[in-house]
Amino acid sequence: MKHDLRPECAPDYMEPDALHALQLARLQETVRRCHERVALFRRRMDERGLTPDDVRSLDDLAKLPFTDKNDLRDTYPYGLFAEPMGNVVRIHASSGTTGKPIVVGYTREDLGVWSEVMLRSFVMAGMCGDDVLQNAYGYGLFTGGLGAHGGGERLGATVIPISGGNTERQMMVLKDFGVTAICCTPSYFVHLIEHIKESGTSFSELKLRVGVFGAEPWSDAMRAYIQRESGIRAHDIYGLSEIIGPGVGIECSEQNGMHIFEDHFLMEIVDPDTGAVLPDGAEGELVITTLTKKAFPMIRYRTHDITSIIPGRCACGRTLRRIRRIRSRCDDMMIIRGVNVFPSQIEAALLSVEKALPHYQIILTRKGGLDQMEVSVEVTKEMFSDRVSELEAMRRRLAHAVEHTTGLRIPVVLAEPHTIARSEGKAKRVIDRRHEGEETP
């Protein structure tokens, strides 16, 4: 196995015993600091009759209280910070879908941890200091832009801080600046692929060879599409602002699950309903405890992301455990006629149909108290025919694929292109009209 020579990447290959010892020492320190400095955490520990001394092994983690997104809202903006503001050098915030955003802070040391895990992420995706990185994540309060920026610079890559949007300029930079690596949301890259093709440029004329895509759930079918259409390697990166931003984990060259940087982030899989810890291999909700964060430590944060830990070592030689691709957030799950449906399933079904492109939207409505789903698929140049019969056959193939995957008959309608909002950032896949009053049949 080829070990990366960068010292920062050494923990990727740590033997489990040494890793566990390091994790325990860091966990004890984190719990002690939170107990001392974060009122909410201290109160919850007190309610359970726990003191930091009760954490004697990694198994004792299960005794500690969970932290949820609501706790962040309730303590808005700085209530969970464990450092005085004088030591906080950066603030990020995630756009809350409702109400106030979630605010997170970083000390200088935290930024060092962040750039380290992003550097390790880029190395895992096969990048090196010679790469020219087009960072098309949004810069600003969103953690994507500056997070990837810090890691790219620390790697020694040439970072182009182009930020999101402005597709024409993105294409110009991609061609003219000799870009070899890109990071953005997967849906934005699909958007770029289309525009590049429409402009008559072939990917073989570009130097681009690797993409690091995240900030929204995407499927293996989408990866297959991206790799086929662009010829690059597409890696799924995992992260969330509450933990650090991008760089919590990423896929290696095996592209079989995302290695979590366990020396910084302690992971558990729990039953989303009972909170009971589940063994490796079982599917459940990912819960993360930060081990080195100073300004904004998190104890047992409920990510709402559904996944499982892949048992066994990875062929790449890294000892860090992997999680399966995030199938979806529990929040994204839709229940249609009693069946659980995730947007990623719909995406995979549509992409299994020849000529179909990943431009779709799921529209939820409510009729007679029951949730109804409709899938709207854009008719692109590739699938358009001037024969009605061929278009109808395409629509039937899409509907069959959705039925085959979900077991449900879900109406599929064909839509004009670009009527489905093009994502310059995160794709809006689900349009929820359930609360707009019941539609009359």
Partner 1 sequence: MNNIRQLSVFLENRPGHLGQVCRALAGAGINIVTMTLADTTEFGIIRLIIREWREAKDILERAGFTVKATDVLAIEVADEPGGLEAVLRTAAGAGLSVEYMYAFARGTGNKAMIVICFDDPAAAAAALRTAGAGVISAEEFYSEKQK
Binding residues for partner 1 (CB under 8 A)? 379-381, 384-388, 391-392, 395, 413-419
The least distance separating partner 1 from the CB of residue 386, rounded to whole angstroms, comes to: 3
The least distance separating partner 1 from the CB of residue 394, rounded to whole angstroms, comes to: 11
The least distance separating partner 1 from the CB of residue 439, rounded to whole angstroms, comes to: 16
Q: 97 or 389, CB closer to partner 1?
A: 389
Q: 260 or 399, CB closer to partner 1?
A: 399
The least distance separating partner 1 from the CB of residue 204, rounded to whole angstroms, comes to: 24
Helices (H), 86-185: 108-124, 143-155, 167-176
Q: 223 or 359, CB closer to partner 1?
A: 359
Residues 6+ apart with CB under 8 A from 117: 151, 244, 247, 248, 261, 264
The least distance separating partner 1 from the CB of residue 287, rounded to whole angstroms, comes to: 44
The least distance separating partner 1 from the CB of residue 185, rounded to whole angstroms, comes to: 22
The least distance separating partner 1 from the CB of residue 164, rounded to whole angstroms, comes to: 21
Measured CA to CA, the distance from residue 209 to residue 203 in angstroms comes to 10
305, 62 in Cβ contact below 8 A? no
Q: Which helix (H) or strand (E) holds 184?
A: strand 181-184
131, 183 in Cβ contact below 8 A? no
Helices (H), 257-304: none
Nearest to 265 by CA among 298, 310, 217, 224: 298
| DSSP secondary structure code for residue 35 in this structure | H
Q: 26 or 195, CB closer to partner 1?
A: 195
Measured CA to CA, the distance from residue 167 to residue 196 in angstroms comes to 9
Q: 3-class DSSP state for residue 214?
A: coil
258, 249 in Cβ contact below 8 A? yes
Q: 74 or 392, CB closer to partner 1?
A: 392
Q: 371 or 374, CB closer to partner 1?
A: 374
Measured CA to CA, the distance from residue 124 to residue 203 in angstroms comes to 23
Measured CA to CA, the distance from residue 315 to residue 270 in angstroms comes to 26
- Tell me the β-bridge partners of 278: 269
Q: 5 or 388, CB closer to partner 1?
A: 388
Long-range contacts for 276-280 (Cβ within 8 Å, ≥24 apart)?
277/62, 280/308, 280/309, 280/310, 280/311, 280/321
The tokens describing 71, both together, are 């706790």
Residues across the chain: 441
115, 244 in Cβ contact below 8 A? no
The least distance separating partner 1 from the CB of residue 289, rounded to whole angstroms, comes to: 48
User: What residue type is 182 in one-letter code?
Assistant: I
Q: Which helix (H) or strand (E) holds 305?
A: strand 301-307
Q: 119 or 357, CB closer to partner 1?
A: 357
The least distance separating partner 1 from the CB of residue 422, rounded to whole angstroms, comes to: 10
Q: 161 or 417, CB closer to partner 1?
A: 417
Q: 8 or 374, CB closer to partner 1?
A: 374
The least distance separating partner 1 from the CB of residue 37, rounded to whole angstroms, comes to: 54
